[in-house]
Amino acid sequence: MEPVLVLGGTGFVGRHLCEKLVRAGYPVTVATRAGTQTSPLRCLPRLNLVQADIHDAPVLGDLVAGHRLVVNLVAVLHGDQARFDAVHVTLPGQLARACHASAVRRLVHVSALGAETAGPSMYQRSKGRGEQVLREALAGSATDGCIVRPSVIFGAQDRLLNLFARLQAWLPVLPLAGAGCRFQPVWVEDVAEAIVRCLSAPTPPAPVIEAAGPDVMTLRELVTLAATASGKPAAHILPLPDTLARWQARLMELAPGEPLMSRDNLASMAVDNIASGQFPGLAALGITPASVAAVAPGYLGQRGPRSGLDGLRRGAGR
């Protein structure tokens, strides 16, 4: 099997991807900024964790050398223009040039639905420019480029449904910005499988794959589903008008740590995050995407709205 380099392999999607690659027999190298001894990936066979600064172009070039397949999962959700540009624009360009120099066979770059150079948020615009510079750098190269654009990704340990389930466990009323924005949530396992199939196909399945689930849901519907899937009563959702939503996001930005919501996140929700239909979807890779309603109860800890009685049932059966 051809060796694979994964950038961003210690993240949410990366952990699922690395497990699939190892099971398929690929030797995998994962570049990480953190100490390799603390990563849960260190126990996987045929996987080599390398501590490196991937934003240093010579270091990145050395990492790419010797690999035939490369995956870029590195992304940020929060920050200023400089941070978005460094991660979403500069890095993909440097990576594509390194792949060209090392005759990498295929580069799979994970972007996002809504990646547009004229999008309403810094996140979307930087993602769009990143795709653009990657294509330019690979023009005339022997390296095939394949871009995967997922919608919001759900799954065990996600930061979406788990967050809303926890909030509703103690908030009877939930003020919600962007309540009407529509998403097409996609399971992390389906995204990881899509990347594996993009790597393993003899020729690129398509220049762009839109990775979206089978259901189009508003944020409000997703929040309600998070509660019911965890066996808790859904909070009363209070949709916020634009002005209040911006104030809420601003206050969240001032809180210590990574914000739950930023003004740039809010700007992203000015447009729906659903497949455009202009590019092939997961079906083109032979994947039938899983529904969020079918998967979420399994990892949110319950089986449905009546599962809070399961403990009493088990007790009664003793």
Q: pLDDT digits over 179-196, tens only?
A: 999 999 999 999 999 999
Q: pLDDT tens digit string along 225-244? A: 999 999 989 999 999 999 99
- pLDDT for res 94: 98
User: 211 CB contacts (<8 Å, ≥6 apart)?
Assistant: 148, 149, 150, 151, 186, 190, 191, 194, 281, 282, 289
Q: Is the full-model pTM beyond 0.75?
A: yes
Contact 115, 89 (CB under 8 A): no
What the block records as the tokens of 90 is: 């500069």
Q: Is the per-residue pLDDT at 168 higher than 70?
A: yes
User: Contact 116/278 with Cβ under 8 angstroms?
Assistant: no
Residue 303: count other Cβ atoms within 10 Å of its Cβ: 13
pLDDT at position 36, please?
57
Strands 4-7 and 69-72, bridge-based pairing:
parallel
Whether the pLDDT of residue 316 is over 70: the answer is no
- Among 140-149, 159-168, 251-260, whose mean pLDDT is lowest? 251-260
Contacts of 88 (CB under 8 A, 6+ apart): 75, 76, 123, 126, 127, 129, 130
- Is 90 exceeded by the pLDDT of residue 216? yes
Write out the two tokens for 80.
């200023």
Q: Is the pLDDT of residue 147 over 90?
A: yes
Q: Of 287, 294, 248, 298, give the one whose Cα is nearest residue 269.
A: 248
Q: What is the pLDDT of residues 109-123, one digit of tens each?
A: 999 999 999 999 999
- Domains, the chain, with CATH or none: 4-156+186-211 (3.40.50.720)
Is the confidence at residue 166, as pLDDT, over 90?
Answer: yes
108 pLDDT above the threshold of 60: yes
Average pLDDT for 204-221: 96
The Cα–Cα gap between 111 and 279 comes to: 14
Question: Mean of the pLDDT values across residues 215-224?
Answer: 98
> What is the C-alpha separation between 97 and 71, in angstroms, rounded?
14
**275 near 183, Cβ under 8 Å?**
no
Percent of the chain topping pLDDT 90:
86
Picking from 159, 87, 95, 69, the residue whose alpha carbon sits closest to that of residue 125 is: 87
pLDDT at 37: 57
Q: What is the pLDDT of residues 5-50, one digit of tens each?
A: 999 999 999 999 999 999 999 999 999 887 655 577 888 888 999 9
DSSP letter string over 238-270?
A: EEPPHHHHHHHHHHHHHSSSS-S--HHHHHHTT
